[in-house]
Structure formats: C-alpha cells, structure tokens
Chain A
Amino acid sequence: MSHDKQTSDARQFAEESSSLVRITAAPLTWAGHFVLCYGAAAVWCVKWPGPIGQMAPLRIALGLATVLALAIIAWLGWRSWQQWDLLDDYDYEHEMGVGEDRHEFLGHAAFLLSIVSFVGVIFTSLPLVFAATCR
C-alpha cells in the first residue's frame, strides 16, 4: 500500500472522487442569479411596469437575491479556501500526482472561481443600482 493511498484514506478524499461538479458551484450560482435578474426584469417590464416603467419592487427583490447569491458564493469560497489550505504548506502549484495535491488543487480552482463569480454577481447587479426604470 503506497503512501499516496494512505493519505487518501486518512483525509477521506473518497467523497470527491466521483465528482468534478463542486468546482462549478460558484459559477452556477452566478448563472442562477443572472437568469433570475434577466427573467424577472423581462417579465416585470412587460407585464407590470408603471406608467413610466417604475420597478422599485423589482429592484428591492433582486437586490435581496444579489445579497443571497453573494453570501452563497462567499460561503463556497470559504469552504474551498479551507480545502486549498494554503497557509498549511504554501502550496499553490499542486503539480504532483498525489491525492493531497489533487484535493488542494480542486480547492484552489474552486476558490478562484468563487472570486470571479463574486465579481460577476456584483457586475450583474450594477444595472439595478443605476437604472431606475425599465426604459
């Protein structure tokens, strides 16, 4: 039994051994938030705009959704930061074919994707700040 295998067992890496899906969680949250904003605005602006296209309730609702999305991504980012565990060994290359490097690599990639997704959600929500009406 190799050293590699023992590390895998000890760290219970098994839970991630059949799924790449986790690193996509943060971008998926971005996508969900994006679709919600676009869909809600499209429906609102066709079905219930006021006489000059006001959308205060929409802005409030989507503002809350934005806070929720950012919280989810921040939480995912925190978890992946822990999985990366940079401060433990300062490894940011993960270039060896061992279980630990793979584990930290997935954490690292997920962490970076959380940052991009976080920024993406902020970008998406900026029109809600600057636009007051549908027009």
Chain B
Amino acid sequence: MTSDADRGTYPPTEEMLAQPVPAEVAKAQADRLRKVWAQPPGWTYWSAVNNTEVGVWYCLTATFFMLLAGILALLMRVQLAVPENDFLDASRYNQFFTMHGSAMMFLFAVPIFEAISILILPSLLGARDMPFPRLSAYGFWCFVIGGIFVMGSLLFDAAPDAGWFMYPPLATEYGGIGADIWLLGLSFIEVASIAAAVELIVGVLKCRPPGMRVNIMPLYAWYVLVVGGMIVFAFPPLIAGDFLFEMQRSFDWPFFDPERGGDPMLWQHLFWIFGHPEVYIIFLPSIAVTAMIVPTAARRPIVGYSWIVLSAVGTGFLSFGLWVHHMFATGLPAISLGFFSAASEAVVLPTGIQIFAFVATLMVGRVRMIHPMLWIAGALAIFVAGGLTGVMVAIVPFDWQVHDTYFIVAHLHYTIFGGMLFPVIGGIYYFYPIIAKKQLSERLGKWAFWLMFTGFNVTFLPMHLTGMQGMPRRVFTYPGDLGWNWLNMISTVGAFVMAAGILVFVYDLLRPKGKQPDPPRNPWDAGTLEWTHNVPGEAWGIRSIPYVDTRYPLWQQSKMQERIDAGRYYLPDAEEGKRETLVTSVIDAHPLHVQRVTGPAWITIWAAIFTGGAFIFPTFHWYPPAIVSAVLAVACIIYWNWTSTAVIPEKDSKDAGLGLRLPLYVSGPDAVGWWAVWITMLADATAFSSLVFAVFFYWTASAQFPPDGAQFANGGLVAAGTGLVAGSWALTAWARRDAGRGAMAALAAAMLAACAGGAVLFLALWTTDMDPTEHVYPAMMWALVIWVIVHLIAGVVLQGYCLAGLAFGKITRRHDAPLWNSLLFWHFLCLTVLVTGAMIAIAPRLMT
C-alpha cells in the first residue's frame, strides 16, 4: 500500500490547475476514453451495464408499469362511477385494486427512485459510473422479470386479490395462486431493490469527487444515503414475513393460524414495519429532486442546508416509529397506540422543516419560474394538504372514524401525488437535457400539469367527503341511496382528466425529437456538477473528475467547466484501456484509489433469469426446477465475480492525474466491495432480527408459547453445532490473516466444520419430535434453523471461492479482497448462528 507521502500532491494547487493541457494530448486522451466507454453495438446493446443505459431502461420500465397500474385505476373508477354497476365483477375488482396498489408501490414508486438515482447520481458526483455497474444491470433485469410475472397474472385471471398488504387469514386461506405470485414475485423484486440500495449507498459514500466533503455534497446525495439506509432496514422485515408466509402457504406451517398458536397480527407488524418507512422511502427521493430544482429556480444556494440534512436524517429515523398507526383498529393496548400516535405527530417536524427551507430559499432568491418549478409548486400544495390530513388520522379516535374509508384513500393519494409523482415529473423535465440531450416541450408540459393538477383535485378532494359519509374502501359497488353517487361520479370524471394529463406527458416524453436542435448544456443555469455533461452525449460520464470544494461548483468555482472539458482534473485518460472511476474517503473525499469498473456482460442477464426461476417456479410448487435455477443462478454469480471483480491489476498503482499516484487494488475497509458486503449483511441481519422478533412476539401475544408439554431442541447438539460453526469462523479469520498456503488448509477445514455444524444443528431438531405443522412453536424453531442452514451454504460457497482463489492465484497476500469480504460475511453468520442457538435451545426453556 502506498503511503500518503508518496501519493503526490493533494489537494491540487491553483498553479497545477491553471496549467493548460496541450490540445493534441487532450484529443488523444478523449479518443481513448471514448473507445473504452463505447456502447456495445447492434443487438449486443442489451448487454450494456452503464448507468446511463440501465438507468434509462429502468425508468421506462417503471413508467410502463405505472401506466398499467393507472389503467387499472381508471377501470375501477368506471366501475364506481354509478351505483350497482356491473362493469367489473367483485373478483376482478379485487384483483385490480390489489394490483393497482402493489404495482404502484413495488413496480413504480420504489424502482423509479432507484432508476433515477442510478441514472443521475454519478453525474451529480462527477463519477464515471456507479461502483458496481453489473449489479445495477442485474437488479434491473430481476425487476423486469419479476414485474412482468406479477403483472402478467392479471391476464390469466389469477392475480393476487387480497389487498396490497396481503393480510392473513384472508390471504392464507384463499385457494388460488394469487397470493403466491405476490409473495414470491415481489420478494424477488425486493431483493433487487436492496441490491440497488447497496449500490447507491456505496456510491454516495465512496464515489464522490476529491474534495467533496460531506458538508458540501449535493442534498440529493444526502437523501439517497438516508433512503438507501431506510431500504436496508425496512425491506428485510417484509422479506422475513414473506418467508414465513410462503412456508405457511406451501407447507402448512401455522405461523398465522390462531388454531395452532399462530397469530395473523405478526404479519401486520412485519408488513407495516416495512410499509410505513416505505412511504418515506418514496417521498424523500422526490423531495431530494425538489432540493435540486429549488436553488436553480431561486438562483441562489439553498437556505438551511444543515436543516435539510436534519430533516432527511430525522425523518429517516422517526418513520420507523409509525407503523402501528396502520393498525389502530386492531385492538392493541391503548398505551401502545398512544406511543405510535405521538411518533406520528412528531414526524411532522422534520417533514415540515424541509418545506420551510424550500420556501425560505424561494423567498430570498430571485425566482425565475422555470417549467420544472411549476410541478414543484403543485407538489408542495398537494403534499401540504395530504400532510395535514395525515396529522388528523394520526389521532387515534379520528382514525377509528375514518379507518378503511375513502378518507384514507384521499389522504394517501394526496401524500403520494404531492410527495412523489409531481416532483418526479418535475425532475424529469429538469434533468431531461442530461438524460436525452433534448428538451421536453414547455407548452405540452403546461398542458400536462394543469390537466393533472385539476384532474387530481377533482378526483381526490371529493373522496374526503365520500369517506366521511362512510363509504368503505375496496368495495366493488355500492347501493344508490346512500348519497355517494354524485361524489363518485365527480371522482371518475376527474380521474379521466388526470389520465389525459399523464398521456400528454408520456407523449412528450416518447415523441421523436430527432429534428430538435441540441439544447444548451446548462439550460437552467444550475450550479451543480451534473450540468457539466456533454452535448451531444458522451458515454464516459465525465471527461475528467474535478476537485470540488464548493456546494455549487458551477457557480462558485470559475473555470470548472473548461478544466473538466480539457481533461485538466483526475483520470483524464484511459491509457490501459480499462473503465475506471475514483474512490474517495467517506467523510472528506480524500482520493484513495482507482477503481476498475466492469463493462458490458450477458452474465448478469443469465443470473437474473435463473434467480427469477428460483423464485417463480415455487409459485406452482415446481421445486426441482426451482432448485436447479437457484444452483445455476449461484453459478452465474460466482462466474461473474471470479471473472470481473477484484481482478489483480497489471501494476500496483497508476498516475491519476494532477501529480497523484493511486493504488489500483485495495482490500478490506478501503475497498468498495467490502462496504457493499457490510451493508448487505446489515440488511440480512435485519431480516434475521425480524425472525427473532417473531419468537418474542408469539411469547407476548399468546397465553402459552411454547405450549404445555412442548419438546425442546437437543441442548448438547445445539452446543456442538454452534461450536463447530464458531470454529469454522475462527479458521476463516485465521485464513484471512495468513492468506498463504496455510490459509488453504484452514479454509478446507473451515468448510468441513461449517457443513458439520449445519448438519448437527439440523439434527438438534430432527432427533426430537418437533413437527412444524403441528404448532407455531416447532415451526418457528425450524424456520430459524432453515434460515441458518441456507446462510451456512452461502458461507461454505464463499470459503470455497477463497480456497479456489488462493489455489489459482486470484488471491495473494497483497491481493486479498475476497478474503476480507468473506470474513465479513462470516462475522455476521457466526453471530446469527450463536443467536439462533440461544433462541432454539435456551429461550424456549426460559419462556415456559
């Protein structure tokens, strides 16, 4: 490892930056960069992994699903336009409202955040690409496959129909495969969401340009960091819940069956621990877009940067204390409801602060009403109305009155349209010149806005009243003598006006713009780095990676643009013919090393197809092909890692420009891969914690858990099993230190110990008569052991990977990144196994 002293000068001096780059040198550098980052030609285009390609596909796919879900909404509005209507029957109506909610949330709102972030985050940060382009591509293809599978079920009249929250017992008792499609299809997409979140967090923390300390990074990056963190902690409880739910549906393990000790309330808890942060997961990124547009419109830096960071971080935390406000009507103790009511009121503080900061910025700035600002203004108006009804429904007695009525439908659409859809569309108008190198029509934009804004309010404002008059949600029709008729008719008319607005927008988005001249490079006179993009477009991301020491470099650092274009800054060249970006330190963005990023590949698509098989085949109870798919998916991922990650470079370090020499290979906490493993494992540990929570939940919620006369896991075998796994962990740790010949023997022994440990833990339950279909207690114990065994298999695969790496020279003492990453996985695994041992052998004995 090169020490700081022999890396060269940092930060660059003004004299260094002022030195011109000879024109012929600059041209040769640009040609090499262009060649390295070129898109694959012809049909191989689809193997691209660049953030600019994958991001666009991702956005368009999410928009497509949004349109489908919107059509479902229109059909429902037609059905509800008049009383006693028979346009849709009850069953189809149930499928439509379930899929409308599920698709809007899982196939549009969350993915569009990831899509837009993958698309624009690198340019906001002056990076060449995301740190793991192939992971983005893999996530995208998983999303496409899962989305088509879930939406496709509508065509076969087999779609889920138990509501977007899939409450048991309705969803567990219901016969068809709809619920399985929902559970497995959406779990698959959740995995892709977590993958994207990992990538975005690492991107913000490690891929900022040199000098961009945390106090000057774009607010969008702060929001991405917070939202990524929220995804890491909010999605896993739902994945754990899906796991329990699918075990019940497929194998009759009674997690949610009260007759055998289960409890449907557990699902509600796990669902809403995910479901409420989810609301903020879709809201914060849109507010982040607002935080980029407002300063540009006001032509001045944001007012209260620290206050907005406080808002983002504070909302991120508080949003986890709200989930029970979806369960106020379930009969929990009043004191518990009180805590959640209080937290639901408290979250208004940080949410409101950022809106005041935007208003303050507009007040003190010299506002120019650029078109995107129209959408932002509309968004703020709508969102404030939705926020205020939110304050109302956070009060328990009021909630009891309007629970499950159209009042809630109105409230949630006001928050989501104002807090998510309008800012996103404003953001698309704003960022379109960067994305497509063309501009959207301002005239059509105004049409779209006024149609949507009017249509939205005509649709949803009356719903407050419809709800107050007692119309329940999720009914496919209603009698004509309750006074709801004209309100419903108005809502239906409004829905079509709004749909017309969306059509105008989509037309503007997709219409051919070939004859339009190139737009100005920075049409809104914005101050942030993404506006250094090239027109016409270049695939290299940024010509050279600048040194940034202001919040609005284009306003505050003169000559920034010209020096970037001249290749004056870092990594202006690709002399080795590799795609590279710069990795910097977390807080101060000190340059650390040059990261080689991966290029086009088909393997990610294959990995996604087989991962899809592993999730989709079990829907039809076809387990052998599912297992084959899972094995092939793992094989693809191993191949992808082996061939393209932690590749030993041809030299130890390279000249990164401006007199800075940086290493090409790092391992451990310096490496982006290690951070990705760390964040992934946090998500994994959260899912496991949800299972542990379930055990305690059953203990508190039922009179007897474990039931009278229950058997316990064999204590001796549990001790032996956890001991073997701990031994395997210790050997892995030793192998990481040694990283030589001895490490190979240690890893081989560690693999054996892990396999033996898993088998012994299995026997600890198998040798008793604990039948998981009999009662929820044995089912829960088995669920923990299965969780551990699946993770042990992954742990053994990683050990084998490192063993092979050592044997074939992919891993050496100097190049030991896979060992570090595998050991990090094993730290978490060892802890998981120890906790599991305590949960199956000790906790039940204490609980009786």
Verify that A and B bind, or say they do not. yes
Contact B333 A135 (CB under 8 A): yes
Look across to chain A and name the residue whose beta carbon is closest to the beta carbon of B324.
A38
Q: Please tell me which one of the listed residues A19, A27, A94, A133 contacts residue B313 in the complex, with CB atoms under 8 A apart.
A: A27
A98 within 8 A of partner (CB) = yes
Distance in Å: Cβ of A41 to nearest Cβ of chain B: 5
Contact B313 A24 (CB under 8 A): yes
Q: Give per-residue flags for A29-55: 1 if the beta carbon is below 8 A from chain B beta carbons, else 0.
A: 011001001100111011100000101
B309-346 CB contacts (< 8 Å) to partner A = 309-310, 313-314, 317-318, 320-321, 332-336, 338-343, 345-346
Which of chain A's residues have a CB closer than 8 A to the CB of B333? 41-42, 45, 53, 134-135
Which of chain B's residues have a CB closer than 8 A to the CB of A42? 332-333, 336, 700
Which of chain B's residues have a CB closer than 8 A to the CB of A93? 305
A57 within 8 A of partner (CB) = no
B550 within 8 A of partner (CB) = yes
B487 within 8 A of partner (CB) = no
Distance in Å: Cβ of A84 to nearest Cβ of chain B: 9
List the count of A-B residue pairs having beta carbons below 8 Å apart. 148
A74 within 8 A of partner (CB) = no
Which of chain A's residues have a CB closer than 8 A to the CB of B551? 95
If A17-B585, A123-B345, A126-B342 touch, does A116 touch B336 (CB 8 Å cutoff)? no
A76 within 8 A of partner (CB) = no
Distance in Å: Cβ of B5 to nearest Cβ of chain A: 11
CA distance A101 to B13 in the complex (A): 20
Look across to chain B and name the residue whose beta carbon is closest to the beta carbon of A34.
B321
Which of chain A's residues have a CB closer than 8 A to the CB of B341? 127
Q: Please tell me which one of the listed residues A18, A19, A131 contacts residue B338 in the complex, with CB atoms under 8 A apart.
A: A131
Contact B306 A127 (CB under 8 A): no
A75 within 8 A of partner (CB) = no
Which of chain A's residues have a CB closer than 8 A to the CB of B588? 17, 99, 102
B549 within 8 A of partner (CB) = yes
B266 within 8 A of partner (CB) = no
Which of chain A's residues have a CB closer than 8 A to the CB of B710? none
Look across to chain B and name the residue whose beta carbon is closest to the beta carbon of A93.
B305
Contact A135 B549 (CB under 8 A): no
Of the listed residues B215, B317, B321, the one surrounded by the most CB atoms of chain A closer than 10 A to its CB is B215
Which of chain B's residues have a CB closer than 8 A to the CB of A72? none
Contact A46 B701 (CB under 8 A): yes
Q: Give per-residue flags for A118-134: 1 if the beta carbon is below 8 A from chain B beta carbons, else 0.
A: 01100110111011011
A106 within 8 A of partner (CB) = yes
What is the interface size of chain A, counting residues whose CB is below 8 A from a CB of the partner?
54
B213 within 8 A of partner (CB) = yes
CA distance A86 to B38 in the complex (A): 50
Distance in Å: Cβ of A12 to nearest Cβ of chain B: 14
CA distance A34 to B317 in the complex (A): 11
B586 within 8 A of partner (CB) = yes
Distance in Å: Cβ of B733 to nearest Cβ of chain A: 22
CA distance A23 to B586 in the complex (A): 14
B379 within 8 A of partner (CB) = no
Contact A112 B306 (CB under 8 A): yes
If A45-B336, A119-B346 touch, does A102 touch B213 (CB 8 Å cutoff)? yes
Q: Please tell me which one of the listed residues B306, B335, B345, B585 contacts residue A45 in the complex, with CB atoms under 8 A apart.
A: B335
Contact B310 A38 (CB under 8 A): no
Look across to chain B and name the residue whose beta carbon is closest to the beta carbon of A4.
B11
Contact B314 A123 (CB under 8 A): no
Contact B339 A92 (CB under 8 A): no
A113 within 8 A of partner (CB) = yes
Distance in Å: Cβ of B216 to nearest Cβ of chain A: 5
Q: Please tell me which one of the listed residues B313, B343, B548, B701 contacts residue A113 in the complex, with CB atoms under 8 A apart.
A: B313
Contact B700 A46 (CB under 8 A): yes
Distance in Å: Cβ of A83 to nearest Cβ of chain B: 12
Contact A124 B339 (CB under 8 A): yes
Q: Please tell me which one of the listed residues B211, B309, B550 contacts residue A109 in the complex, with CB atoms under 8 A apart.
A: B309
Contact B334 A134 (CB under 8 A): yes
Distance in Å: Cβ of B737 to nearest Cβ of chain A: 22
CA distance A67 to B187 in the complex (A): 41
Contact A134 B216 (CB under 8 A): no
If A95-B551, A98-B549 touch, does A34 touch B339 (CB 8 Å cutoff)? yes
Look across to chain A and name the residue whose beta carbon is closest to the beta carbon of B669.
A18
Contact B215 A112 (CB under 8 A): no
If A27-B317, A134-B335 touch, does A18 touch B586 (CB 8 Å cutoff)? yes
Distance in Å: Cβ of A29 to nearest Cβ of chain B: 10
CA distance A41 to B700 in the complex (A): 11
CA distance A28 to B320 in the complex (A): 11
Contact A43 B700 (CB under 8 A): yes
CA distance A20 to B588 in the complex (A): 11
Look across to chain A and name the residue whose beta carbon is closest to the beta carbon of B697.
A42
Distance in Å: Cβ of B652 to nearest Cβ of chain A: 24
B262 within 8 A of partner (CB) = no
A105 within 8 A of partner (CB) = yes
Which of chain B's residues have a CB closer than 8 A to the CB of A109? 306, 309-310, 313
Look across to chain B and name the residue whose beta carbon is closest to the beta carbon of A35.
B321
A96 within 8 A of partner (CB) = yes
Look across to chain A and name the residue whose beta carbon is closest to the beta carbon of B307.
A112
Which of chain B's residues have a CB closer than 8 A to the CB of A95? 215-216, 301, 305, 550-551
Distance in Å: Cβ of A70 to nearest Cβ of chain B: 14
Contact B306 A31 (CB under 8 A): no
CA distance A93 to B214 in the complex (A): 13
Which of chain A's residues have a CB closer than 8 A to the CB of B310? 109, 112-113, 116
Contact B313 A126 (CB under 8 A): no
A60-115 CB contacts (< 8 Å) to partner B = 92-99, 101-102, 105-106, 108-109, 112-113
Which of chain A's residues have a CB closer than 8 A to the CB of B13? 2
Contact B313 A105 (CB under 8 A): no
Which of chain A's residues have a CB closer than 8 A to the CB of B306? 92, 94, 105, 108-109, 112
Look across to chain B and name the residue whose beta carbon is closest to the beta carbon of A104.
B215
Contact A97 B216 (CB under 8 A): yes
Look across to chain A and name the residue whose beta carbon is closest to the beta carbon of B315.
A116
B170 within 8 A of partner (CB) = no
Q: Please tell me which one of the listed residues A38, A106, A116, A128 contacts residue B314 in the complex, with CB atoms under 8 A apart.
A: A116
B293 within 8 A of partner (CB) = no
Distance in Å: Cβ of B334 to nearest Cβ of chain A: 6
Contact A27 B314 (CB under 8 A): yes
B366-407 CB contacts (< 8 Å) to partner A = none
B494 within 8 A of partner (CB) = no
B199-237 CB contacts (< 8 Å) to partner A = 211-216
Contact A126 B700 (CB under 8 A): no
Which of chain B's residues have a CB closer than 8 A to the CB of A127? 335, 338-339, 341-342
Of the listed residues A19, A97, A135, the one surrounded by the most CB atoms of chain B closer than 10 A to its CB is A97
Contact A31 B321 (CB under 8 A): yes
CA distance A92 to B586 in the complex (A): 22
Contact B214 A97 (CB under 8 A): no
B349 within 8 A of partner (CB) = yes
Contact A124 B342 (CB under 8 A): yes
CA distance A20 to B214 in the complex (A): 9
B786 within 8 A of partner (CB) = no
B721 within 8 A of partner (CB) = no
Distance in Å: Cβ of A52 to nearest Cβ of chain B: 13
Which of chain A's residues have a CB closer than 8 A to the CB of B313? 23-24, 27, 109, 113
B350 within 8 A of partner (CB) = yes
Contact A2 B11 (CB under 8 A): yes
B793 within 8 A of partner (CB) = no
Contact B305 A130 (CB under 8 A): no
Other 6 A-B pairs with CB < 8 A, given A34-B321, A101-B213: A17-B587, A28-B317, A31-B320, A93-B305, A102-B587, A124-B321
- 22 A-B pairs with CB atoms under 8 Å apart are A17-B585, A17-B587, A17-B588, A18-B585, A20-B587, A27-B318, A28-B317, A38-B339, A41-B336, A43-B700, A45-B335, A55-B335, A101-B215, A102-B215, A105-B305, A105-B306, A109-B310, A116-B350, A120-B346, A123-B345, A133-B334, A135-B333
3 tightest A-B CB contacts, nearest first = A127-B338, A97-B549, A105-B215
